[in-house]
Amino acid sequence: MVNFRTRLKEVALFSIPIVAGQLGQMFFGIGDIMVAGRYSNEVVAALGVATGIFAPFIMVGLGITYAVSAIASQRRGKGHDQEDLVGSSLMAIHIAGAFLLVCLFALIFNLEVLGLPEAIHSKVFTYLLVAGASLFPVMLFQVFKEYLQAFDDTYFANGTILAFNIINIGMNIVLMFGFGPIPELGIMGAAIATLISRSLMAAVLMRYTIKKHPFAFIYSKKTVKAVLGLGIPISLSTLIEVSVFSVVTVLIGKMSVTASASHSIVLNLASLTFMVPLALASVASVKIGAAYGKEDPAELLQYTQATEFLAVGFMCFTALCYFFIPDLLLRFATSDPAILKYGASMLVFVAFFQIPDGIQVTMSGILRGMGVTKEVMFFAFISNWVIGIPVGHYFAVTKGMEAAGYWAGLATGLTVMCLFLSFVFFKKYKEFKNSIPQT
């Protein structure tokens, strides 16, 4: 019988390259902004708006692909072949990607409805028109990344992300500023760099996957339906959560400059620490999926305990940091006394939801491994939109807490989400355990 410490070590080691990859994904945007900041303020502003518009489409697209590792792991646990999984997943992302791309381009050619300032309108249009096509390579890369994870192969895919951070920055410099025969392209250059980087990443990982874990480019309607059936609720859950933070950002943006700036810094800090439990959720999806496929409730429970232990442990650490040393953390981004004071008041509430947030996101990965995503989507909507936003508005406006009030609402919603998903897990686990014949 494998002990808890062994499972803990296994999950921790498996998560390290995934955490690195998650951080690498964040740094792509940071790298673009760094280069654009040395080009012009208008390009920085346009790039920020354009990526903000594009991000939800990418997140929804990626949500479809998260089903791949769960399905592959379950099949691996059952000893079933994976012959049609990659081909079916590629078909699924082309169906979903085509729909998302039509929606994106419909928005691109009607940008005036957003009322963007004239100084950046054309630049946002240019970036989205070119970079929008990178949606397919992003989804393609993630399909292979998720497929490889099901075989405990995580280093190459995540290493590729980190390597292309450097390549992307280099291409941004060359294409934005011009070099030799290459003309200065400004924001068009940033868009081309994004498209090339993402396309090359997908090509590199596809070649590696074919070499290490060969697959056939075939598909079946049944598997395509399974990928979409599991993946679409994941996409919608992601959209629900991302849109809540977007709405809160807009609402806080209507307050003072200090409130908006403080919120931006706090949101980036919270997003950074969130990468660890998010990576653990990916690990859980794979490990739980294999245990579920093998019909081994004891192993499934061990991996659940190990994943949640690591998530709670890390989030306890971050909660203590946010609660006791907020000034120190905020000083990495600003030295403005007003922002330090305002940001510290928000970090108190960020500290409160660290543990429930860690539990809920890893529990989402655990349930994904068990093939449960519709309930997660439903409770994400209830927790965020029916509870989080109204409670936040009450504290922010009625109680006069301003930006801190919205973060209090987010904390409330995430805590409720944690309780909801824990209940769903215990219910599904009991059903799973009782369905296994006793020997």
Q: Is the per-residue pLDDT at 368 higher than 90? A: yes
Neighbours of 29 (CB within 10 A): 14
CA distance 371 to 40: 47
CA distance 310 to 338: 35
pLDDT at 1: 59
What average pLDDT score do residues 234-261 get? 83
Compute the mean pLDDT over every residue in the chain, rounded to the nearest whole number.
88
pLDDT at 379: 94
What average pLDDT score do residues 303-322 get? 94
Name the residue with higher pLDDT: 367 or 182: 367
> 25-39, 278-292, 304-318 — which is least confidently predicted?
25-39
pLDDT at 301: 93
pLDDT single digits (tens) 8-39: 899 999 899 998 888 888 777 777 777 877 77
Kindly give the interhelix angle for 187-212 and 135-149, rounded to the nearest 10 degrees. 30
Q: How many residues does the chain have?
A: 439
pLDDT at 176: 83
pLDDT at 111: 83
Going by pLDDT thresholds of 50, 70 and 90, the confidence category of residue 246 is confident
CA distance 217 to 116: 43
What average pLDDT score do residues 297-322 get? 94
pLDDT single digits (tens) 197-232: 999 999 999 999 999 988 878 888 898 999 999 999
> 164-168, 187-191, 254-258, 396-400 — which is least confidently predicted?
254-258
Going by pLDDT thresholds of 50, 70 and 90, the confidence category of residue 391 is very high
Query: Are the C-beta atoms of residues 351 and 325 closer than 8 Å to each other?
Result: no
CA distance 191 to 425: 42
Which residues lie closer than 8 Å to 193 by C-beta, 6 or more apart?
A: 32, 168, 171, 172, 175, 176
Query: Are the C-beta atoms of residues 371 and 293 closer than 8 Å to each other?
Result: no
Q: Is the per-residue pLDDT at 149 higher than 70? A: yes
What average pLDDT score do residues 130-136 get? 92
What average pLDDT score do residues 156-180 get? 90
Domain spans in the chain, listed from the N-terminal domain onward: 1-219, 238-439
